[in-house]
Amino acid sequence: MVDYNQNKIILRSEEDTHHLAQEFSLVIRLPLIVYLIGGLGAGKTFFVRSLLQALDFSGNVKSPTYSFLETYHTDIGLINHFDLYRFGYALEWYDLGFDDVVDTHSVNLIEWPEKISGIDLNPDIILNIDCKGLTRYVDIEGYSTRGRELVDQWIVR
């Protein structure tokens, strides 16, 4: 069972994470930039996979750790999943042309956004996942007017 306490959520199982992503899928709207922050194994990619499943994407969802970007076509539109863990420097974002990928026609889920510190993409929502054993503590914050509206709709559900 997912424990909600304002914007701080306790996830005790993968099923809880899947449920949280499923609830997000009901309010998600384009365009959107979501930062996913958390250490290795925190469940960032699992959250993305669960979100895509909730959006009825039936294909293979793989971690973009080595490709940096995986793109998925869903009923609501384009979902871009970035994993910047292996970035060597922030300006690599521009070198790889990712500034052209993030646009008004997509949802952009960005793991390890701290790797591009100094490049402000103006995230709408930030999910910060802290892992202690099998329990995940998720802090969800809206950073734009739209992001705050979506978080309010998401958490109220």
pLDDT at position 4, please? 54
Residue 95's domain comprises 3-156
pLDDT at position 92, please? 86
pLDDT at position 116, please? 92
pLDDT at position 3, please? 52
- Domain with residue 63: its CATH number is 3.40.50.300
pLDDT at position 5, please? 54
Q: Which residues of the chain have pLDDT under 70?
A: 1-6, 156-157
What φ, ψ does residue 5 adopt, rounded to 5°? -140, 90
- Within 8 A by CB and 6+ apart from 93, the residues are 84, 87, 99, 116, 119
pLDDT at position 112, please? 94
What is the number of domains present in the chain? 1
pLDDT at position 67, please? 86
